[in-house]
C-alpha cells in the first residue's frame, strides 16, 4: 500500500468520525443572527463589543499611549533585575509571529472579494479596537504569571483566570477560575496541534509544491511531502527545545524579515500604480458606507471586515498573553502597552497593505471572485503581485514559509504551556509534548484533516467567550496596574529630564 493511499485513508476515516462533531460545534460557536439582510456571527460581535468596552474604559489607551508603547519596546523604561526571560521586543515578535500568517495573505483577499473594498475600512477599525482588548489581557498575563525556580515563566488565561478571580472574589472566584483555566488550556492545546501546527505546515507545503512544478515536480510526490514534513519538524523541534528564549531569538529575526519582504512587495505594486492610489482609497472609504453588490449593504461590509480582523489579530482570545508573560519587567502594564501594538501591526498595517495591493492591482481573479466564482485567497493575492512582479509567486512562497514556521513555533510554545498546566512540568511531560508536536508537523505535509482544523477554529473562538468574561471581571486590576506604571514613567522621565515634564502624560492637576 502506497503512502498516498494510507494518508488518504486516514483523512477519510478522521473526517467520517469527526465531521458531525465539527459541524455541530461550528454551528454553535459561529452561530449567526440575521441583521440588516446579512448574517452576524455572535462571536464576532462578542469580540468587537469587548474592544469597544475596553477602549472606553481605558480612555482610548491605544491612541493616547501609542508613543509610550513604542518607547517601551525600544527599552527606554527597562529596569535592571527585572524578572522574565525575554525583552519587550522579543516578546512582541514572538506574539506577532502567532497572528501574522496566512490569514493576512489569503483571508484579506477573501474579505475584499465578499465585502468589497469597503471591508478594508472596517478591518482597520476592528484592529484599532482590538488593541485595547490586547492591552487588557496581556497586562493580566504578566500580573498573574508564574515564575518557576529555574527562572522560566508560565502565563496566559490558565494562570490569570484562577489567580485573578480568586484574588477578587475569594472561594467562589477560585472555583470558577479553576474550571475556566482547565477549559482554556485544553482549547489552546487542541488549536495549537491542529490550527497552529498541522494546518500551517500543510498550507506552506501546498504553496511550495505549486511553484516547484505541481504534483509532477520535485516535491509533488509523497516522498517529497514526507521530506518537507521531517525538515520542518526537525527545525521546530530544535527551536522548541530551547524554550521561549530560543523561540524569541528566532522570531525576533523572522518576523521583521517576513514582514519586511511582504511590505516591500506591497509597496512596489503600489508605487508602480501610484496614480491609482487616490481612486483605491476613495473606493475603500466609499465602499465602507455605500458598498455595491454586497449582501447586507453597509452592515454586510462591516461584518465581513470585522470578522476578518477578529480572526486575524486574535485580540481577546487569550493566546498572546502566553508569549508576552515571559517578558522581563516589574510592571505588568508596560507589556500590556507593548501588546497593543500587535493588532496594529497585524491588522492595521499588514492586512491593510494586502487589501490596498489587491484593490490597486485589480487582478482578473479578484473580479471573478467578486462575481461569485470559488477562487482561493492566496491565488488572488499572488495574482495581484504578479501584475507587477511576474516572479512574485516565488517570493510569496518564501513569505508563506516564514509565516508558517514562525506561527508553528509560537503555537508550539502556547501548546507547551497548556500541556504543562494540565499534565505537570516534569521533564518526561515536556518531552512527550515536544515529540507529539513535532510528529504533528510531519503529518501536516501528508494529511489535511480539514475536519479537525475546523474544530480547532471553533475551539479557539470558544476560548474568547471564556477569556473575555475574565477580562471584564478583572479590568479594575488592569486600571490599577496602568496607573502604577504611568507613575513610574513620570518619575523616570523626571529623573532623566530634570525641570522638564513628560508631554506624553497628562499634567497632574492641582488645586489652590
Output the pLDDT for position 332.
94
Find where cell 462571536 sits.
Answer: 43
Give the confidence band of 295 by pLDDT, cuts at 50, 70, 90. Answer: low
Identity of the highest mean pLDDT range in 60-64, 413-417, 494-498 = 60-64
What is the distance between the alpha carbons of residues 153 and 350, in angstroms, rounded to a whole number? 30
Q: Is the pLDDT of residue 502 over 70?
A: no
Q: Is the pLDDT of residue 71 over 90?
A: yes
Provide mean pLDDT across the span 309-316.
Answer: 79
Q: Is the pLDDT of residue 512 over 80?
A: no
Provide mean pLDDT across the span 152-163.
Answer: 92
61-75, 173-187, 223-237: lowest mean pLDDT where?
Answer: 223-237
Q: Is the pLDDT of residue 511 over 60?
A: no
Sequence ranges of the domains in the chain: 8-492
| Residue 490: count of CB within 10 angstroms of its CB | 16
CB 95 within 8 A of CB 336: no
CB 198 within 8 A of CB 206: no
Q: Is the pLDDT of residue 68 over 80?
A: yes
C-alpha distances in angstroms, 349 versus 100, 147, 156, 319?
11, 34, 26, 21
Provide mean pLDDT across the span 255-281.
Answer: 85
**Higher confidence at residue 166 or residue 34?**
166
**Higher confidence at residue 309 or residue 296?**
309
Output the pLDDT for position 45.
87
**Higher confidence at residue 254 or residue 380?**
380
Tens digit of pLDDT for each residue in 422-448? 998 888 998 899 989 988 888 877 777
What is the distance between the alpha carbons of residues 407 and 380, in angstroms, rounded to a whole number? 22
Provide mean pLDDT across the span 93-118.
Answer: 77
20-34, 118-132, 390-404: lowest mean pLDDT where?
Answer: 390-404
Tally DSSP H helices, then E strands, for the chain.
23, 4
100-104, 248-252, 367-371, 496-500: lowest mean pLDDT where?
Answer: 496-500
**Higher confidence at residue 35 or residue 132?**
132
Output the pLDDT for position 401.
80
Give the confidence band of 102 by pLDDT, cuts at 50, 70, 90. Answer: low
Output the pLDDT for position 56.
95
What is the distance between the alpha carbons of residues 434 and 256, in angstroms, rounded to a whole number? 26
Tens digit of pLDDT for each residue in 357-409? 999 988 888 888 887 777 666 778 888 888 887 877 777 777 778 777 888 88
Residue 60 Rama label (left phi>0; alpha psi -120 to 50; beta): left
Tens digit of pLDDT for each residue in 316-331? 888 889 989 989 999 9
Output the pLDDT for position 5.
75
Tens digit of pLDDT for each residue in 442-456? 887 777 777 777 788
Phi and psi angles of residue 504, each rounded to the nearest 5 degrees, phi first: -85, -20
Q: Calculate the average pLDDT of the chain.
A: 83
Find where cell 496566512 sits.
Answer: 102
DSSP-derived letter for residue 275 is: G
**Higher confidence at residue 258 or residue 71?**
71
What is the distance between the alpha carbons of residues 7 and 13, in angstroms, rounded to a whole number? 10
Give the confidence band of 293 by pLDDT, cuts at 50, 70, 90. Answer: low
Q: Which CATH class is domain 8-492?
A: mainly alpha
Residue 70 Rama label (left phi>0; alpha psi -120 to 50; beta): alpha
What is the distance between the alpha carbons of residues 42 and 183, in angstroms, rounded to a whole number? 20
Q: Is the pLDDT of residue 74 over 60?
A: yes
**Higher confidence at residue 179 or residue 252?**
179
CB 87 within 8 A of CB 324: no
Give the confidence band of 505 by pLDDT, cuts at 50, 70, 90. Answer: very low
Amino acid at each position: 500500500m502506497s503512502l498516498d493511499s494510507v494518508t488518504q485513508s486516514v483523512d477519510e476515516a478522521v473526517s467520517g468520525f469527526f465531521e458531525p462533531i465539527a459541524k455541530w460545534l461550528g454551528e454553535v460557536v459561529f452561530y449567526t443572527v440575521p441583521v440588516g439582510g446579512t448574517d452576524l456571527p455572535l462571536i464576532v460581535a462578542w469580540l468587537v463589543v469587548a474592544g469597544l468596552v475596553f477602549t472606553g474604559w481605558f480612555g482610548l489607551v491605544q491612541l493616547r499611549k501609542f508613543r509610550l508603547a513604542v518607547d517601551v519596546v525600544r527599552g527606554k523604561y527597562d529596569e535592571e533585575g527585572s524578572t522574565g526571560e525575554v525583552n519587550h521586543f522579543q516578546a512582541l515578535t514572538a506574539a506577532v509571529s502567532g497572528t501574522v500568517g496566512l490569514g493576512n495573505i489569503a483571508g484579506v483577499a477573501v474579505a475584499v472579494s465578499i465585502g468589497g473594498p469597503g471591508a478594508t475600512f472596517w478591518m482597520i477599525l476592528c484592529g484599532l479596537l482590538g488593541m485595547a482588548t490586547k492591552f487588557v489581557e496581556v497586562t493580566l498575563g504578566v500580573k498573574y504569571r508564574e515564575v518557576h525556580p529555574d527562572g522560566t515563566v508560565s502565563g496566559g488565561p490558565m494562570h490569570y483566570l484562577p489567580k485573578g478571580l480568586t484574588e477578587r472574589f475569594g472561594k467562589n472566584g477560585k472555583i470558577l477560575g479553576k474550571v475556566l483555566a482547565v477549559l482554556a488550556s485544553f482549547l489552546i492545546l487542541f488549536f495549537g496541534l491542529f490550527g497552529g501546527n498541522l494546518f500551517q505546515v500543510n498550507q506552506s507545503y501546498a504553496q511550495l509544491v505549486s511553484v516547484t512544478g505541481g504534483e509532477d515536480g520535485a516535491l509533488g510526490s509523497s516522498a517529497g511531502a514526507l521530506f518537507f514534513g521531517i525538515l520542518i519538524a526537525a527545525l521546530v523541534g530544535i527551536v522548541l527545545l530551547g524554550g521561549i528564549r530560543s523561540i524569541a531569538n528566532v522570531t525576533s529575526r523572522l518576523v521583521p524579515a517576513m514582514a519586511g519582504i511582504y511590505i516591500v512587495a506591497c509597496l512596489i505594486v503600489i508605487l508602480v500604480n501610484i496614480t491609482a492610489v487616490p481612486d483605491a482609497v476613495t473606493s475603500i472609504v466609499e465602499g465602507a458606507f455605500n458598498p455595491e453588490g454586497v449582501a447586507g449593504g453597509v452592515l454586510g461590509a462591516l461584518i465581513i471586515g470585522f470578522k476578518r480582523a477578529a480572526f486575524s489579530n486574535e485580540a481577546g482570545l487569550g493566546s498572546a498573553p502566553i508569549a508576552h508573560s515571559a517578558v522581563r519587567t516589574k510592571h505588568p502594564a508596560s507589556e500590556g502597552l507593548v501588546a497593543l501594538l500587535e493588532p496594529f501591526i497585524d491588522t492595521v498595517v499588514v492586512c491593510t497593505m494586502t487589501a490596498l495591493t489587491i484593490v490597486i492591482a485589480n487582478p482578473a481573479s479578484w473580479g471573478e471572485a467578486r462575481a461569485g466564482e470559488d477562487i482561493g485567497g492566496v491565488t488572488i493575492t499572488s495574482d495581484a503581485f504578479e501584475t507587477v512582479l511576474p516572479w512574485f509567486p516565488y517570493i510569496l512562497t518564501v513569505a508563506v514559509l516564514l509565516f508558517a514556521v514562525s506561527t508553528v513555533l509560537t503555537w508550539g510554545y502556547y501548546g507547551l504551556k497548556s500541556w504543562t498546566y494540565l499534565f505537570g512540568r516534569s521533564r518526561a511531560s515536556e518531552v512527550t509534548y515536544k515529540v507529539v508536536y513535532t510528529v504533528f508537523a510531519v503529518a501536516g505535509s501528508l494529511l489535511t484533516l480539514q475536519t479537525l482544523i475546523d474544530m480547532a477554529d471553533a475551539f479557539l473562538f470558544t476560548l474568547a467567550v471564556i477569556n473575555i468574561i475574565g477580562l471584564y471581571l478583572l479590568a479594575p486590576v488592569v486600571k490599577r496596574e496602568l496607573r502604577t506604571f504611568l507613575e513610574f514613567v513620570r518619575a523616570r522621565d523626571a529623573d532623566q529630564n530634570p525641570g522638564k515634564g513628560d508631554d506624553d502624560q497628562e499634567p497632574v492637576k492641582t488645586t489652590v
